[in-house]
Amino acid sequence: MNEFRNGDLVFDVRDEGPETGEVVILLHGFPQTKEAWDDVVPGLVAADYRVLAPDQRGYSRRARPSGRRSYTGENLVGDVLALADAAGAERFHVVGHDWGGAVAWYLAMWHPDRLRSATVLATPHPAAFRRALLTSTQIFRSWYFLVFQLPRLPEWMTTSAVGGPRFRKALVRSGLPERKVDAYLSVLSEPGAATSIVNWYRAAALTAPSQLAELVTVPTLYVYGTHDVALGRRGAELTKRFVTGPYRYEPLDASHWMPEEIPEVVTKLIVEHIGS
């Protein structure tokens, strides 16, 4: 496949590996695209997995619905299930980074029957993140999350002639390899893209806290970069409290951007986890 549908929305997707292999779905974060996984996909394919890496809602040109309610967790999860269904995968492995990691947690909490395993990079369990906001410096790290609730300002901060270059520098300073930055920001600058992508943040509060506190029973690997400027160690350490299934926590000497920065290490960990 190079595209799939969920209702009226059409998503671009990268589909590689043997058609009969177990399906691994890779979910990128903000402000990435499926290109975040460029250096991870070959290793998974070499291990005989069928790999699906979509451009998610807001990032795919034909999947930018209006209004923040279109970007709730239920809708984001529905897109992934639609992809799995289109691929004929009753059960699959999910790997998510950043916001893609949040979607992976949602899938593990709400649809464990569809998952073989979950691998999450950077993003702690949602309930662990909420506790970290109250018990650590996480609230100061997450200042941008609050700013992104405002109208118009986030779009200006990320795409305007003044804000765009500053946002680019901030991404590079945080550890994102410069070779990836311009490709990601070119998508963000497309008509309607910035508002759609920022709506992921604006819709976050629309999910009930009780939905975000469910325990995870599927086999889970959680990988945390110890130099992450956006997500502190407290949420990472609390995550184990919310996983009752087989669980592995792997802290790495890396930044937030592990798929791009250390793809060989990430690939090795994923293959070990989903093959166990």
Q: What angle, 0 to 180 degrees and rounded to 10, lies between the N-to-C axes of helices 99-110 and 73-86?
A: 80
Q: Which amino acid is at 180?
A: K
Query: For 111-223, where are the alpha helices, taking DSSP H only?
Result: 126-135, 138-141, 143-147, 153-159, 163-173, 178-188, 193-202
Please work out, in degrees rounded to the nearest 5, the angle formed at the alpha carbon of residue 169 by the alpha carbons of 166 and 173: 140
Distance CA 165, CA 159 (A): 8
Tell how strand 9-16 and strand 3-6 pair up: antiparallel
32, 98 contact by CB (below 8 A): yes
Q: Which residues lie across from 63 on neighbouring strands?
A: none
For residue 195, the tally of other CB atoms under 10 A from its CB is: 19
Q: Which of 93, 98, 222, 228 is catalytic?
A: 98
Q: Is 98 a catalytic residue?
A: yes
- Using alpha carbons, list the distances in angstroms from residue 103 to 71, 161, 174, 179, 203: 11, 32, 22, 26, 13
Q: How many CA atoms lie within 13 A of 146 on its CB side?
A: 7
Q: Is 273 a catalytic residue?
A: no
Q: Which of 184, 201, 222, 224 is catalytic?
A: 201
Q: Which residue's structure tokens are 């893609």? A: 100
Q: Which of 93, 97, 125, 256 is catalytic?
A: 256
- Please list the active-site residues: 98, 201, 256
